[in-house]
Chains A and B, each alone.
Chain A
Amino acid sequence: MRAMAVAAASLALAAAAQQPPRPQPLLAGTTFQSPEARQMQLDDFANPGLLWVERGQRLWSEPRGAAGKSCASCHGDAGQSMRTAAAHHPRYYPAAGQVLDLEGRINRCVTENEHAPALAWESEELLSLAAYVARQSKGAAIDAPLEAPARDLYEQGRHLYFERQGQLNLACTNCHDMNWGKTLFAERISQGHPADWPAYRIEWQTLGSLQRRLRACYFGVRAELPAFGSQDLLALEVYLAARARGLELSPPGVRK
């Protein structure tokens, strides 16, 4: 009986460890944007991110690499095959033996199946494909599975999220859990959800990935920037996806 109680308690603990503290209520990133930026994101013509979606749609059926295959050769109509795909990333791929985010997953297809050189981070081609694939998940609720290897990354991401960093000595949680909704200089602090990425950031004058946005936060607190595709950024992506579970995706976003 006692053993059972201990087992139940440890199960409850394990469950609690998987339940990150979340802001209540969970609010989408657009909530914290100016009315103009929000309008721009909702307008299916004025949203500049859709230029990348359109380019991605063309790239989807363009063969590349030695295998002479395009994305469409295997995945067919993205509207069908990629529906809600972005909502389930980052996730563990047993065949790859690693956790991949959406960009990583696309690049794995490019190198393994199309036999083409990997697309560079933040290259027009990778951003376009990621935007196109992510767009197919518009309206889907974030639900990234936390299987064993992903759970390790989750723990690592959780640690990073609460760790103070940089010359300003700030952790993610200091802004995005404790002070969301308040004004920082000319910005309203968001809850830091990954639901609208890749997004067009007006400051960048281009579309950018979630990893680029995370690096911008590192820069903001004057910490050393982790490299694109590094374990740290991936771990944060895993943690943020778990933290935003249930939130509706609406990529590509528009941010100031």
Chain B
Amino acid sequence: MILGRIQVPPNVRKGEPFEVRILVQHPMETGYRRDLNGQAIPLHIVDKLVCRVGGAEVFSAELGSGIAANPYMAFYAMADASGEVEVEWRDNRGETGRVSAKFSVA
């Protein structure tokens, strides 16, 4: 289970954009580097991240080897009803991670 963090304002206004911030702990190893002994360090990156609200996809990203370690993402969303933002991701070794945060619409 890969560690991650999410930040969503707990109270949002109907129809007004709010910021969702995501931070994933991952080395994002490019696959192009070599270690001190000259051995190639294999590719190890998060390659897919999906964000859903109430089961509907609102944001997704395909990360490549050019993304820095511990990727930080932020985007704006709008909601008509209270719910939960769920973020799931998986890396190229099949490891997954998940974070979620509830918000209520005033």
Contacts and interface: CB of A to CB of B under 8 A. Distances in A.
Nearest to A124: B25
A22 B17 CA distance: 49
A51 B72 CA distance: 12
Interface of A: 45-46, 48, 50-52, 54-55, 202, 205-206
Contacts of B72: 46, 48
A50 B24 CA distance: 11
A205 B23 CA distance: 14
B25 A51 contact: yes
Given A45-B7, A51-B3, A206 B21 contact: no
B69 A45 contact: no
Query: Chain A interface secondary structure, helix, strand, loop or mixed?
Result: mixed
A55 B70 contact: no
A52 B69 CA distance: 13
B28 interface: yes
A105 B68 CA distance: 32
Contacts of A206: 27, 69-70
Given A51-B5, A54-B5, A205-B28, A45 B70 contact: no
A51 B69 CA distance: 12
Contacts of B23: 45-46, 48, 51
